[in-house]
Amino acid sequence: MDATADVGVELVPGTTMPARRLGTSELTVGAVSYGCWRFAGGAVTAAEAKIVAALDAGMTLIDTADIYGFGSQADGTDFGDAEVLLGQVLDADPGLRDRMVLATKGGIRPPVPYDQSREYLVEACEASLRRLGVEFVDLYQVHRPDVLTHPADLAATLQLLIDRGLTRTIGVSNFTVAQTRALQAHLDVPLVTSQPEWSALHLDPLVDGTFDLCAETAMTPLAWSPLGGGRLAPSDDPADERTARLVEVLDRLAAARGVERTVVALAWTMRHPSGPIPIIGTQQPERIRSLAAAAEVTLDRAEWYEVLVASRGERLP
């Protein structure tokens, strides 16, 4: 295991987790983060155990969204359920709020499906704060682009959220490079994050310009589904030939380090120089703690490219 927490690397206090700055902001977060997309449902005590496990491991960025939890009830009454449960956790132990960088997202409005008009997005942010039981979030991201809202209008709304103290920083999720640039052109404050799907099974940010833009502007990439929707997690049989190739390489690299395949898969996503922060979503506290080891594993250049070649299924040009 190759430790990245060398002398001179800032660590999350009380942990061995390297810390990373969130874009150009003053906020620092752990190099691995915890996401609440599967967080809704269950007892508050069980939910609190997951959040505490993440924070204790140094995963200080806690990522949620108003849409998380939606879909299990036909009448849509479960919209916001993940935020509600996280709010109950914070209410049960208010001290947890001071330990985390709290992020949420808005702008999806079933069944519209997207609405980033000023009226709706301000209302959505306020509703998120009520569900979470907080006065502000540290990061508010636009979840998916509403192409019927002009970027100048969206920029004005995001600036309003900052001016009112409802969020400290802003970012985007699932935006193209062009959409991100268009929005930033109308902002007086920087977008600090871009949240794309990124894993050894989903390579788009490498080639669509997302990581290049992050490197150019110092935005922090927050990677959702870094284990390929669970396909790179332990299972009986890989679902397809491509996954089987990846599993063979990841297992070999993991065995050489004495860690789990998922740890190496996460470490692979973190190796890109734009500094991606993977968002894990396991519901098991022991798995949360074990996946934190990804921050202490570094793949060398040959190993990283071997994984990439296995994913592509062909040699690099």
How far, rounded to the nearest angstrom, does the alpha carbon of residue 107 sit from its chain's CA centroid? 17
Six-digit token string for 97: 């709020």
Task: Provide the pLDDT for residue 238.
Answer: 79
Angle subtended at Cα 212 by Cα 211 and Cα 215, rounded to the nearest 5 degrees: 85
Catalytic status, residue 114: no
Neighbours of 299 (CB within 10 A): 18
pLDDT value, residue 3: 39
Closest CA to 231 of 222, 220, 239: 239
> Cis bond leading into 205, ω under 30°?
no
What is the rounded distance in angstroms from the CA atom of residue 169 to the CA atom of residue 5? 27
Residue 8 confidence (pLDDT): 62
CB atoms within 10 A of CB 287: 17
61, 195 contact by CB (below 8 A):
no
Residue 218, burial from CB neighbour count under 10 angstroms (0-12, 13-18, 19+):
middle
- Report the alpha-carbon distance of residue 101 to residue 60 in Å, rounded: 6
User: Do residues 193 and 138 make contact, with C-beta atoms less than 8 angstroms apart?
Assistant: no
Helix (H, G, I), strand (E, B) or coil at 199: strand
- Domain ranges, ordered by start, for the chain: 19-231+273-297
Class of domain 19-231+273-297 as given by CATH: alpha beta
Below-50 pLDDT ranges, the chain = 1-7
Query: Which pLDDT score, from 0 to 100, does residue 277 have?
Result: 98
Residue of 34, 68, 120, 140 with catalytic role: 68
Return the pLDDT at 236.
66
User: To which H or E segment does residue 53 belong?
Assistant: helix 44-56
At 302 the pLDDT is 98
